[in-house]
A and B are shown apart, each in its own frame.
Chain A
Amino acid sequence: MAADQSKIRNFCIIAHIDHGKSTLADRIIEMTGLLTSREMQSQVLDNMDLERERGITIKSQAVRIVYRAKDGEEYIFNLIDTPGHVDFTYEVSRSLAACDGAVLVVDAAQGIEAQTLANVYLALDHDLEVLPVINKIDLPSADPERVVEEIEDVIGLEAQEAPRISAKTGLNVEEVLEQIVNNLPAPQGDPSAPLQALIFDSLYDAYKGVIVFCRVREGHIKAGMPIRMMATGAEADVVEVGYFGAGQFIPCDELSAGMVGYITASLKNVKDTRVGDTVTNADRPCSEPLPGYKKVNPMVYCGLYPADGAKYPDLRDALEKLQLNDAALQFEPETSIALGFGFRCGFLGLLHLEVIQERLEREYNLDLVTTAPGVIYKVYKTDGTVIDLTNPSNLPDPSEIEYMEEPYVSAEIMVTSEYVGAIMDLCQERRGIYVSMEYIEQTRAVIKYDLPLNEIIYDFFDALKSRSRGYASFDYEMKGYQRSELVKLDILINKEPVDALSFIVFKDTAYERGRKMCEKLKGEIPRHLFEIPIQAAIGSKVIARETVKAMRKDVLAKCYGGDITRKRKLLEKQKEGKKRMRQVGNVEIPQKAFMSVLKLDED
């Protein structure tokens, strides 16, 4: 298809989580006839099982659709769905670089939330035209006029003309499509200039190899063309170019300036393509690469180990493939006495960690053991050196430590006035330092706290949601390091320290954590033929203890003709349980015990 730039619109949909971004994307896809409603699975673009189950978007997804507008012309829309969660800001940022405009979805009842603002600012940073849309006007609590005012006051966007829609029912969605045509700019760029294309994502496909998602800024690209990745220097010949159908790749002849699509090429190594890199024609290169993306740094670390030690290479392979389109994921090999060979992995946050873990388990069929997540501590040693500590096991002997620092974040919590008290209590409990509070309107306040990152990586989101009945929203950014009284808590099982269970904790909460940890482990470790003491210790001082009693006797059960099959199943279950255990000294520890530290605050 010959590409007429004026008939192309590249845009994304941005929104706070739950404001209906994916639903709107679905409706647009359905209304433009790309899929009949019978073929529609709810939330077409959330094609990971995980995304559908959790109702969140994790990976950006792109789709090309054709819209016949009221002016009688056909337009090509490249729609890119983006995640809404704070952990995935970097994903949003990458997608925005491929767009010329953004549709901002705001919930007609909830109005502007933390991520609404964050995403709008990101879009404006990328010089995108922003088109506001008020969604969920079918809700009884919808107040579109208030939200319009809010958008104008808080963001400073003209919003009187914003379509008032219900993505769920399809009401007024047509108006959104028309405004995309009329108000969002068409792409620029010279199709005959040297090729300059930005890689905004990539994935690995078992048949096609590495699939590079790109936005062509200048020039054009087609099969057979020799290309070069400007940052890595890798060169290859293009095998296929195409665009994104719904859930499938549709080959085409060429991609020219302004278009969004994919390339496959004779690339051997997944590391050759880096998200943010610029693709150019090897025979006729452009003068300079496009600006890339800001590098994101992981903030949360944990150990990931294959449940089956033999799967270590598979885990490495899987992590490499995930890293391909998830620049924020970092990993390096580590060894644990209890868990064997694995990786210390860095994530943007706990949700990111969970998502990676689940993707490894589902998409790569790996059974994983995860150790307690931690942050990067700075250890100032008496000899004047400083260590960045990501693994508690590497903490030097206390005698060599001058002092330690832990990372703090500046947190901004937006909440309706009735929950201000509850949220402030929560922040105090988490060692927060109050910064400020201001009311952005009569019933809503923005509370600012400095919080230790360590205190929010476990279950802060959940606590926030439950104490505000879901009304609080939360955003944070790294603030820096502050000196703190920290200790390493070791867990000894049957007198043997289990390295994978050690963690760094604020001194004053160490006793409480140690006690809960022992209690939790007592429930997780099955009885053995002997008694097993479980101890929590700081250095050589034991601060908590529990005991798993020895196995003494089974219940006396009968076993006659009709019971044998069932008996076998029971024994198999018992045996199967054993397989999922890790041997530490004489004790078999179930794998999930290593993760139980994650859930200390549940009961």
Chain B
Amino acid sequence: MNELELYVHIPFCVRKCAYCDFLSFPSKEDLRQEYVNALIREIRGYGKRYASCHVPTVFIGGGTPSILSSTQIQAVFSAIRETFRVDPEAEITMEANPGTVTEEKLLAWKGAGVNRISIGLQSVRDEELRMLGRIHDHRQFLDTWRLVRQAGMENVNIDLISAIPGQTPESWRETLRKTVELAPEHLSVYSLIIEEGTPFYEWYSNGPRDPQSEDRGRGAKKDASQDARDGAQGPADPAGASGSDDQQYPPLPDEETERLMYEETENILTEYGYARYEISNYAKPGCACRHNIGYWQRKAYLGIGLGSSSLIGTTRFCHTPDMETYLACAGDPGKICEEEQFLSKKDEMEEFMFLGLRMMCGVRKSEFFRLFGIPVDTVYGETLKKLREYGLLEIEKETIRLTKRGIDISNYVFAQFLLS
């Protein structure tokens, strides 16, 4: 029997954060209701297509899904359960942001079967939260946290971001410690990435800080005119000085500072009993996120909603990011589908390696052989030998995994697995 993970995208938030490049935007209530109606049309539109599949995980992500009303969320779940065979033991995650969560909503979610909550905290320092353009302060987060626990949610993730402009190793340690003291079951920790098309990109993209890293920026741009034009609905004004043209943005932490923060993360989280099970994810024993592991193991997943991505069989595709098109055509999967990519065997082998190696447990040689009918050493023998010599991979009989140094420069390692 086939498994199919479900992801539902809610592209709404109260206000766009300054670093965020997700498909998400502020909205009025009518649009949200229209969107929920469209989601339901999309879900029902699948009819019997996935009748043979059972659903081990559901993830409601965003944006800020917790912005939706209880009724709206309930309606979405009803449609899901009518159309798909959701396992009784399914992991059902809801993303929630402080400032949008109420006791009433939590009860409704629980009633709909939600058993895992993922809270976007990012930092415990209010000035850092402001810098990021978050709508909440730390006190509001604590309120949300208390509500979540009171509602009996026993599997909770907290998202944190390191390398925020102005952040110091001390403030990062404080964020880590104050967070682990709450004893969440799971923590996701990323470095801030300066993405194109965000206000941060305008402020910080004076050129890549390091050619090896992703799209990080360097040095604060003096020109602040960018944020003034965005008005009330725009990103937060990090310095709280809207309208002032001569404001300065705090600098991004330099490379060494960032590296220090990165080392501290693993030290402190390990000290508190969390195990790193993926490059940027930590969990208490037994609390790793099954849904996300599915992505790295290349399990089939169906994305529902605006701009969402899917992997079905050997095809990756994603939905239109255009709201108008989506609302008009949601009931007709063919019309909202864009960017179809058919994976060749080579593509699949590459993905198997660069996604699988993200997990600390690594990949298994026998699994590679089972999937592709060819020994991994025949395909990647040279690469594996070289990376092992460089001390980036650890190979024990069956298992191939990243070493600590390999984790540090994982992009370098992964790139080696692309077959010309």
Contacts and interface: CB of A to CB of B under 8 A. Distances in A.
A565 B315 CA distance: 11
A557 B191 contact: yes
Given A557-B280, A559-B355, A571-B354, A565 B341 contact: yes
A568 interface: yes
B358 interface: yes
A562 B351 contact: no
Given A559-B355, A575-B418, A527 B211 contact: yes
Q: Which of A553, A559, A560 has the most CB of B within 10 A?
A: A553
Contacts of A48: none
B259 A556 contact: no
B309 A554 contact: no
Interface stretch (B44-52, B106-114, B405-413): B405-413
A574 B415 contact: yes
Contacts of A554: 212-214, 408-412
B184 interface: no
A568 B262 CA distance: 24
A526 interface: yes
Contacts of B123: none
Interface string B211-229: 1111010000000000000
A577 to B, nearest CB: 9
Interface in A504-549: 526-527, 529
Contacts of A526: 211-212
A571 B355 CA distance: 12
Contacts, number: 102
- With a 10 A CB-CB cut-off, give which of B212, B280, B307, B408 has the most chain A CB atoms: B212
A529 B415 contact: no
A237 to B, nearest CB: 49
| Highest count of chain B CB atoms <10 Å: which of A527, A554, A560, A574 | A554
B311 interface: yes
B351 A568 contact: yes
Nearest to B163: A555
Interface string B246-270: 0000000001001100100000000
Judged by DSSP, the binding face of B is mixed
Contacts of A570: 214, 411
B368 interface: no
A572 B279 contact: no
B295 A561 contact: yes
Contacts of B301: 561
Given A555-B193, A556-B189, A561-B295, A571 B411 contact: yes
A70 interface: no
A527 B295 contact: no
Interface in B49-95: none
A469 interface: no
Interface in B172-191: 188-191
B415 A575 contact: yes
Contact of B214 (A555, A560, A572): A555
Contacts of A558: 188, 190, 280
A444 B382 CA distance: 69
Interface residues of B, number: 49
Contact of A571 (B296, B311, B318, B415): B415
B409 A553 contact: yes
Interface string A90-106: 00000000000000000
* Size bracket of the A interface: 20 to 34
A440 interface: no
A483 interface: no
Nearest to A572: B418
A568 B354 CA distance: 9
B279 A556 contact: yes
A561 B58 CA distance: 13
Interface string A560-582: 11101101101110110010000
A387 interface: no
Interface in B188-222: 188-191, 193, 210-214, 216
Contacts of B193: 555, 557
A567 B358 CA distance: 12
A576 to B, nearest CB: 9
Contacts of A561: 7, 295, 301, 303, 308-311
A386 B195 CA distance: 60
B292 interface: yes
A552 interface: yes
A565 B309 contact: yes
Given A564-B295, A575-B418, A556 B280 contact: yes
B355 A556 contact: no
A556 B316 contact: no
Interface string B377-420: 00000000000001000000000000000001111101110100
B137 interface: no
Interface in A226-243: none
A562 B255 contact: no
B308 to A, nearest CB: 7
B7 A555 contact: no
Given A554-B214, A557-B280, A567 B409 contact: no
Contacts of B280: 556-558
A560 B295 contact: yes
A555 B188 contact: no
Contacts of A155: none
Nearest to A556: B191
A145 to B, nearest CB: 50
Nearest to A523: B211
A64 B213 CA distance: 59
B355 A574 contact: no
Nearest to B350: A568
A551 interface: yes
A526 to B, nearest CB: 5
B144 interface: no
Contacts of B122: none
B255 A552 contact: yes
A551 B355 contact: no
Contacts of A568: 350-351, 354, 418
Contacts of B320: none
Contacts of A557: 190-191, 193, 214, 279-280
Interface of B: 7, 162-163, 188-191, 193, 210-214, 216, 255, 258-259, 262, 279-280, 292, 295-296, 301, 303, 307-311, 316, 318, 339, 341, 350-351, 354-355, 358, 390, 408-412, 414-416, 418
Given A551-B212, A561-B308, 10 more contacts: A554-B409, A559-B296, A561-B311, A564-B295, A564-B351, A564-B355, A565-B318, A571-B415, A574-B412, A575-B415
Enumerate the 8 nearest inter-chain pairs by beta-carbon distance, A residue then B residue, closest first. A553-B408, A574-B415, A555-B213, A562-B309, A556-B191, A555-B191, A554-B411, A571-B415
26 contacts: A526-B211, A526-B212, A527-B210, A527-B211, A527-B212, A529-B390, A552-B255, A552-B408, A552-B409, A553-B262, A553-B409, A554-B214, A554-B408, A556-B190, A556-B280, A557-B191, A559-B295, A560-B295, A561-B7, A561-B301, A561-B303, A564-B295, A564-B351, A567-B354, A568-B351, A570-B214
